[in-house]
A and B are shown apart, each in its own frame.
Chain A
Amino acid sequence: GQNIDQPTEMTATEGAIVQINCTYQTSGFNGLFWYQQHAGEAPTFLSYNVLDGLEEKGRFSSFLSRSKGYSYLLLKELQMKDSASYLCAAPRGYGQNFVFGPGTRLSVLP
């Protein structure tokens, strides 16, 4: 079976750095995705990791450790518009049948 776990809520201050963790258990590994979802809106793709290490994209970075079944999303220089839910997801087997975590609702305070 496959299971993805992440904290349900986090709070951080504007301008700060926040790390959102994700642990996963999969029967086969085909990479790990992060999506951002603002309230009432569609999830949008943030990052994809298939090899161990850090992938950096501007203010957002994502890290993967396959041996530990662990990933994190790092958000730097937080802005109010970063208040959203962050979803960790992994494809289940062949094709694009994704398992999503419960999502981490991040609140950025002034």
Chain B
Amino acid sequence: DAGVTQSPTHLIKTRGQQVTLRCSPKSGHDTVSWYQQALGQGPQFIFQYYEEEERQRGNFPDRFSGHQFPNYSSELNVNALLLGDSALYLCASSWGRATNEKLFFGSGTQLSVL
């Protein structure tokens, strides 16, 4: 049973560029959430996708957008990259939308913006 997979594992971009990160949820899961984790800090919620729609959003600018496909996989897009966007981007999957559902995380994409 494959867990949550993310690609790529590492990425280097320059300021102003655009980036797309990809996530495949754990088998049987239909909900995907994205988190940003800066070095030495806890993850910060970006947004959540369920039934191909953005259901909840954290305090992130519109430069951060996403998509969920019919097979439940998801993409995170970041436009006009800033130095401060350098972080580990984690994808988490779960089933349904109950608040007591534990999250299964991927190993993340380490994004460096130069």
Residues in chain A within 8 A of chain B (CB atoms)? 4, 8, 30-31, 33, 35, 40-45, 48, 50, 87, 89, 91-103
Contact = CB atoms under 8 A, between A and B. Distances in A.
Contact of B99 (A31, A41, A42, A87): A31
The 5 closest A-B pairs by CB, nearest first: A100-B42, A42-B105, A30-B99, A91-B99, A45-B102
Interface in B79-114: 90, 92, 94, 97-108
Contacts of B108: 42
A94 B99 contact: yes
B73 interface: no
Contact of B90 (A33, A42, A92, A95): A42
Interface residues of B, number: 29
B58 A45 contact: no
A54 B74 CA distance: 37
A43 B43 contact: yes
Contacts of B43: 43, 87, 98, 100
A95 B48 contact: yes
B103 A95 contact: no
A95 B87 CA distance: 24
A93 B56 CA distance: 10
User: In this complex, which of B35, B97, B99 has the most chain A Cβ atoms within 10 angstroms of its Cβ?
Assistant: B99
B100 A95 contact: no
